[in-house]
Amino acid sequence: MRVVFAGTPEAAVPSLAALLASTHEVLGVITRPDARSGRGRTLHPSPVRVAAEEAGIPVLTPASARDPELRETLAEWAPGACPVVAYGALIPPALLDLPAHGWINLHFSLLPAWRGAAPVQHAIIAGDEVTGASTFLIEEGLDTGPVFGTLTETIRPTDTAQDLLDRLSEAGAGLLVATLDGLATGQLTGRPQPADGISLAPKLEVADGRLDWHRPAYAVDRLVRGCTPAPGAWTTFRGERLKVHPVRPLAVDADDAAPLLPGQVRVDKRSVRVGTGAGAVELGDVQAPGKRVMAALDWARGARPGPEEVLGG
């Protein structure tokens, strides 16, 4: 089948690579415009743009998917389908009927669970034990279209959002190609999503990564892992933001000392522990403003938190 691929971040690159290695013909790629990042705020192309240009595939970077020139180009290319993986913008209704088989989205959830932009992050934060990936036909509703295929993936106790997304993006690439294979031969039809089990996964903002030390240790652990690497989990110390990397939850404070209060810090020779609403967590790496990422012990030796000080206070 002749296809035009739409995707932007690193998680979309395995799908583009799988399509290029398949029997389908990739006519071109649509991706988000170059974006500024890093300390110098310099412009960088998306990972999908880099991969497409290395493969010699034409690349479109419209500022908006509603750009009339995008529709004109797609009409000229006349793709049979447009596979989509984390493109980063909604496909407008005017484009939905342009490919014969429509726009086929690879979504990293078991729909109808976690519809939206951050399904992997929300699955971890909610404590799900199993998630997966789904291919479905894009409609005007948010991730509501009929599903063509799914795969499941276990969420491991130490998974960050990046760990899980890496596995799903690799496994999902095969699912996307298989879906296009089935559509090309006419052997695959979508099935409507059930009305039960719907949940939403909106994009996480920086404020969503703020830790509430009054919550149980397991909830703190999930929020940190779900927000790693983006938007990042954080707390405050002496009025400044302290970024927190994955922690180790402790059901109870294992030593014989008095239980820690929420946010209270205890430093010994081997670890830095922080009290929560139930149990404690052992900090891994942290990052203070303007500093590099460092082991929590190194941070604590320099910061010397006092017995009355608490994180997040």
| Alpha carbon distance 288, 244 (integer Å) | 9
In a 3-state reduction of DSSP, which class is residue 193? coil
Q: Is 93 annotated as a binding residue?
A: no
Helices (H) and strands (E) in the chain, counts: 8, 17
Angstrom distance (rounded) from CA 107 to CA 227: 19
Amino acid letter for position 223: L
Q: What span, in angstroms and rounded, lies between the C-alpha atoms of 45 and 39?
A: 16
Under a CB-based contact definition with an 8 Å cutoff, are residues 133 and 109 in contact?
A: yes
Does 151 show up as a binding residue in the annotation?
no
* Closest alpha carbon to 9 in 40, 49, 36: 49
Question: What is the distance between the terminal CA atoms of the chain, rounded to a whole angstrom?
Answer: 58
One-letter amino acid identity for 117? A
Find the radius of gyration of the CA atoms of the chain.
22
188 marked as binding residue: no
Nearest one of 220, 213, 211 to 265, comparing CA atoms: 213
16 assigned binding-site residue: no
Alpha carbon distance 226, 180 (integer Å): 31
CA proximity to 107, closest of 1, 224, 15: 15
Q: Where are the alpha helices (DSSP H) in 127-160?
A: none
Q: Which residues are annotated as a binding site for (6S)-5,6,7,8-tetrahydrofolate?
A: 109-112
Q: Which residues are annotated as a binding site?
A: 109-112
